[in-house]
Amino acid sequence: MKNRSIYYIAIITWSILPLAWQIYTSFSSPEALTAPILNHNNRWTLENYIQIINSDPPFWTYLANSTLVGLLTTFITLLVAIPASYALTKISFYLSSIIRLILLGAALFPYVLLFLALLEFARKLDLGNNLLALSLPYSALSMPLAILLLSSSFRDLPKDLEEAATLEGLTLLDRFRFILIPLIRPAVASTGILVFLFTWNEYPIALTWISNENMLTLPVAMARIAGSSIYSVPYGAYAAATVLGSLPLLLFVIIFQKQIVSGLTQGAVKG
């Protein structure tokens, strides 16, 4: 039991240490970051946070942009993936297996190789500097994995349950609203958070599709913080921006933690 406790403590420490170091850096002065930990004064400062909050455009603009794109992408992805994954469970096993292999290949395909094609797509259709349009490639890239995860949850549902609902006269839409969606809600939540995280952290597409300073997403904006260059890297400002940028995700996970954990341990990993 003692060895197991030490093991758990080591794992928790290993997981928390990067976050703790980032928070420490965000409150440290430039002198503190270059001096020995126990051998200097003027260690703590709020200047890094003040610099980020008072940026032009305001830092909250980037947070709002990323949140808007993330929520819209998650909505579009789930709106298409839920009925698509349900349909995948209703076709023959042979055809379903082929489609699953194709979806798995698409999910594992390095999307960076599509970079030039997506850029040409945006140029031809004049989709640059449009946050709503940015959700289109994000939804397409997230769709294969979302369908695979949700189809596993639909496949694990008892067939007798839906057959009984059909005999009671419920339409397909009613079965989705009152039976199917509530039963796979944990899987929907876990899939949604995965899509949102991908969108929140994506950089190359956002970098090329958005050039308007007021429309930048958080990863692109952070690359331009405080006039950083190869000769000067504002570690404190970067750390403060990282901490502030993590707050919406942390809040989101705290609110939906039960559904996320349940979905990842049940519907999302079965089959």
Q: How many whole angstroms separate alpha carbon 45 and alpha carbon 9?
A: 30
Q: Which two tokens stand for residue 246?
A: 């993590």
CA triple 46-230-211, angle to 5 deg? 80
Q: What was the pLDDT predicted at 226? A: 52
Give the pLDDT of residue 270.
45
pLDDT tens digits, the chain, 271 residues: what are they? Answer: 567 788 888 888 888 888 888 888 888 877 777 666 655 565 778 888 888 888 778 888 899 999 999 999 999 999 999 999 999 988 888 898 899 999 999 888 888 888 788 888 888 888 888 888 899 999 999 999 999 989 988 888 888 888 888 887 888 888 888 888 888 888 888 898 889 989 998 988 898 888 888 888 988 888 776 555 555 677 888 888 888 888 888 887 777 777 666 655 554 444 4
Do 42 and 29 contact (CB within 8 A), yes or no?
yes
**Among all chains, which residue has been given the structure tokens 């298409």?**
80
For residues 73 and 195, the answer to whether their CB atoms sit within 8 Å is yes
Q: What is the pLDDT of residue 7?
A: 82
Distance CA 133, CA 56 (A): 24
So what's the pLDDT on residue 143?
A: 94
Q: What CA–CA distance (Å, rounded) separates 62 from 68?
A: 10
Listed in sequence order, the residues at least 6 apart from 63 whose beta carbon sits closer than 8 Å to its beta carbon are 218, 244, 245, 248
Do residues 42 and 31 make contact, with C-beta atoms less than 8 angstroms apart?
yes
Contacts of the segment 41-47: beta carbons below 8 A, 24+ positions apart: 45/236, 47/236
Give the predicted TM-score (pTM) of the model.
0.82
pLDDT at position 128 is 82
Domains and CATH numbers, the chain: 58-226+246-265 (1.10.3720.10)
